[in-house]
Copies of this chain bind each other. A is one copy, B any other.
Amino acid sequence: MALSDYFIRFLEQRDSLSDAERARLSGIQTRRVTFASGEVIVARQVVVDQSCLMLSGMSARIHNLAQGNDRVITALHVPGDFVDLHGFVLAGLEHTVIAMGQTEVEFVSHDQLRQLTDEWPHLTRLLWMSTTIDAAIHRQWLVAAASLRSSAHLAHLLCEIYTRLSSVGAAADYRFTLPLLQRDLANILGYSPIHINRAVRDLRERGLIRWAGTELEILDWPGLTKLARFRPDYLDMEKLSR
């Protein structure tokens, strides 16, 4: 199949594409695959010859620790994200990517990416940009981890997820589907599941969120962003020539 529009829209929010560039991107051939919750989308440290984009649902980068079932999640992906594009230039991924809830992704071969980057320098810089936005999100998670307490830290994550989902049209009206368990939030934020539960209760008691099953609603966006000191500039959503 042809590359979906999601990623192209992601790029066009941040720079202008010529008609030729848009056509070149649309000409990329992809293979669509659906995954059930918890399935491995990309395995760790396998020689990779393709990268994948999110079409629907969410996925996470998981780092398994030596001992026990402990795992740490270092990234979450929403529709439009080029999940493991960094695998194209790295020796191999030091993490696994798994589906959080049911997801649909599309795979692009590295052969096609190599051809594209050999001939289209501006598009190459835009692909590159998408991996550096990933890195900016990593940095913001580091800042949040170092400076926020559990409730505010959780609030920050929810603000980011909603902002990213709504920017690609996958959420609106302060409601979204959150296909994560409290255990998953614990693995993202570095707390015990029990402490996450207390943080969730705290946000509920402050009247900031409503959350049942996989449906989450932000009841007080100004309050939530204030608690989290959320400033979305790191998501780099300005339109510029790159």
Contact = CB atoms under 8 A, between A and B. Distances in A.
B128 A91 contact: no
B142 A72 contact: yes
B131 A135 contact: yes
Given A131-B131, A139-B61, A190-B145, A229 B66 contact: yes
A155 B187 CA distance: 22
A240 interface: yes
Interface of A is mostly: helix
Interface residues of A, number: 52
- Considering the complex of A and B, which 6 residue pairs feature the smallest CB-CB distances, nearest first? A146-B190, A138-B138, A135-B135, A89-B129, A86-B132, A74-B139
Given A90-B236, A128-B131, A142-B145, 16 more contacts: A45-B233, A65-B143, A65-B147, A66-B229, A74-B139, A74-B142, A86-B136, A89-B125, A89-B126, A89-B128, A89-B242, A90-B129, A91-B240, A94-B234, A124-B124, A142-B142
Interface of A: 14, 45, 61, 63, 65-66, 70, 72, 74-75, 86, 88-92, 94-95, 117-119, 121, 124-126, 128-129, 131-136, 138-143, 145-147, 187, 189-190, 229, 233-234, 236, 238, 240, 242
